[in-house]
Structure 1
Amino acid sequence: MRLDKLLSHMGYGTRKEIKKLMKQGVVLVDGQVIKDSSVHVHPEKQRIEIYGESVQYREFVYLMMNKPKGVISATEDLVERTVIDLLPEEYLPFQVFPVGRLDKDTEGLLLITNDGKLTHELLSPKKHVPKTYIADVSGVVTQNDIHIFRRGVTLDDGYETLPSELRILEVDELTRRSRIELTIYEGKFHQVKRMFEAVHKKVVHLKRISMGPLTLDPELYPGDFRELTENELEMLKGRST
């Protein structure tokens, strides 16, 4: 890999800026000053330093975010604030993106990465990766709804969903509100909301708590994020293969 490309990928500036930086003699490879930005290096085998600090190269980053309400699952938008806007600048050179999407008013687990292969595996309709949500619903959710969801729900456009697992957590007969947990195995547009509309109920709050083997860290407040642990990443990659 070209040295200027590597350093740019790690957030040390544009290639033009890195070229100027290298002319100052502050970039070392295996202890030798390198001023030619086009030099090729092996980041896994060679020691690279800038201003005496070691450059720890990595190709991919994997972040777990507790997406808050009011931001959209996109990399950029001219009007709306995106989940990428919530990240510090150190991650921007990696050109990360959200894996799938959560609606603007939906919160919860969102994976952010620059690993296209893993993203494709997780979002492939053939994989049926489970996604679990907690929802507050206007209306009394019943055992009959559980049976309907278990068979598959016919949506407003005639599409019949895959069987899903609906669990009633709490029902308030007085206010006619319910809290449920729902696991689905696909990701159609507004699917959870449309499934409840099909049984004449309305989702008023929605939060995703898991995707595949990945479970939302309860210590992450809305808007917070952290990198995946090695164990989480191993489980995720194992699930996607």
Structure 2
Amino acid sequence: MRLDKFLAESSIGRRKTVRTYIKEGMVKVNGEVITEPAIEINESSDVIEYLGKVVAYTGKVYYMFNKPAGYITARKDTVNKTVFDFFDDAKMNGVFHVGRLDKDTEGLLLLTNDGEFEHKLMYPQKHVEKTYFFWALGSLDEEDIKQLEQGIYIGKGEILTKPAKIEVHKCGMYKEFKHEMPIENLNNIDSNNYNQPVVSGYITITEGRKHQVKRMLKVAGCYVVYLKRTSIGGLMLDESVEKGHYRLLTEVEIQKLFEEL
């Protein structure tokens, strides 16, 4: 195994970061300073040290995290709380998020130290499906749904969105569903205006443009007030994992994702 790969998969840092550590003489192999990241080592028998401490090989890890709203998808931020606030820093140096979710979006977020896995999952040509559940102000008729499913323009200078899948779950007036909508504060709804139309449903896309789901539904005349990612590919969010909690993916889940990729 390459030395940089060993360190990246042992929670020392991302592949690019550990290469810098190696070149700067921070790593020893069997007591000797090594400055070549591509050197082959035996992870079972060689003794690897980083800053004088022996590195234990942990291997590739894959986490399912149920992201709550109000946290940004980043390692650090000077203003906002991040998803990494829920993890033990000591175990997460080499772990990074796969894609991202908006600050106010909840649901399935994957984290890993496997760069190849991240690349394949996020590579546009792989067309990996990502499904979101939404509540929105407005309504969706058959023409709106057809337009969304065929592809629409969501921004100046942008190409047509790739075909999506839409499944309307509920539609009607706010007064009918206000107790079902998992939103603490709806500033855009007058509490006395119970005839405000609302709609909920699932939308599946294969891209990852900035605020894409919100922008797509906005073009269709809907203002998203709640958004939750429920699946990536064939991997469903485990609803037993509470918001702000995480677990390792099972071998079956990992295998299924890799088969899709």
After TM superposition, the score normalised by the length of structure 1 is: 0.77
What is residue 217 of structure 1 aligned with on the other side? 238
| Cα RMSD, aligned residues only | 2.6
**Is the alpha carbon distance of 1:98 and 1:57 closer, same or farther for their aligned partners in structure 2, counting shifts above 3 Å?**
same
Q: 1:41 to 1:161 in 2, by over 3 A?
A: closer
Q: Residue in 2 aligned with 1:185?
A: 206
| Contact 2:132/2:227 (<8 A) preserved | yes
Q: Does 1:144 align with 2:143?
A: yes
Are the structure 2 counterparts of residues 56 and 214 from structure 1 closer, same or farther at C-alpha, using a change threshold of 3 Å?
Answer: farther
How far apart are 1:223 and its partner, in Å? 0.7
The 8 Å contact of residues 135 and 226 in structure 2, kept in 1 or not, is answered as yes
Name the amino acid aligned to 1:116.
Answer: G
CA contact (8 A) 1:84 1:97 kept: no
CA contact (8 A) 1:156 1:198 kept: no
Secondary structure in structure 2 of the residue aligned to 1:126 = helix
Shift of 1:134: 0.1
Once residues 46 and 67 of structure 2 are traced to their aligned partners in structure 1, the CA distance between those partners, rounded to angstroms, is: 38
Relative to structure 1, is the Cα distance of residues 154 and 60 closer, same or farther in structure 2, using a 3 angstrom cutoff?
A: same
| Partner amino acid, structure 2, of 1:142 | D
Structure 1 residue 43: Cα displacement: 3.5
Give the Å deviation of 1:88: 1.7
1:166 maps to 166
Q: What are the within-5 Å matches in structure 2 for residues 40-189 of structure 1?
A: 42-44=42-44, 57-93=57-93, 95-157=94-156, 158-173=158-173, 174-189=195-210
Q: 2:148–2:220: 8 Å Cα contact kept in structure 1? A: no
Aligned counterparts of 2:222 and 2:126: Cα–Cα separation in 1: 29
Alpha-carbon distance change, 170 to 154 in structure 1, aligned in 2, over 3 angstroms: same
Identical positions, percent: 39
Aligned residue pairs, count: 206
Partner secondary structure for residue 192 of structure 1: helix
Deviations 1:160-199 (A, max 9, x none): 1011000100012344111110000111110000001111
In structure 1, the residue matched to 2:226 is: 205
Question: Deviation per CA, 1:15-60, whole angstroms, max 9, x where unpaired?
Answer: xxxxxxxxxxxxxxxxxxxxx655997344689xxxxxxx973222
Q: What is the rounded CA distance, in whole Å, between the counterparts of 1:186 and 1:148 in structure 2?
A: 17
CA deviations over 1:188-225 (Å, ceiling 9, x no partner): 11000000111121000000000112110010111110
2:257 to 232, 236, 239: 236
Give yes or no for contact 2:140–2:220 (8 Å, CA) kept in 1.
Answer: no
The answer for the alignment partner of 1:19 in structure 2 is none
CA–CA separation in structure 2 for the residues paired with 1:202 and 1:83: 25
- Supply the AA of the counterpart residue of 1:64: M
- In structure 1, C-alpha distance between the alignment counterparts of 2:118 and 2:147, rounded to whole Å: 31
Q: Which sections of structure 2, spanning at least 5 residues, go unmatched?
A: 13-29, 34-39, 48-54, 174-194
TM superposition outliers: structure 1 runs of 4+ over 3 Å: 8-11, 36-47
For the residues of structure 2 that align with 1:74 and 1:213, how far apart are their CA atoms? 25
Cα distance in 2 for residues equivalent to 1:223 and 1:156: 33
CA–CA distance in structure 2, aligned partners of residues 106 and 207 of structure 1: 6
Does the CA-based 8 Å contact 2:11-2:95 persist in structure 1?
no
- 1:52-76 deviation per Cα after TM superposition (whole angstroms, max 9, x unaligned): xxx9732221100001111111122
Amino acid in structure 1 at the alignment position of 2:135: D
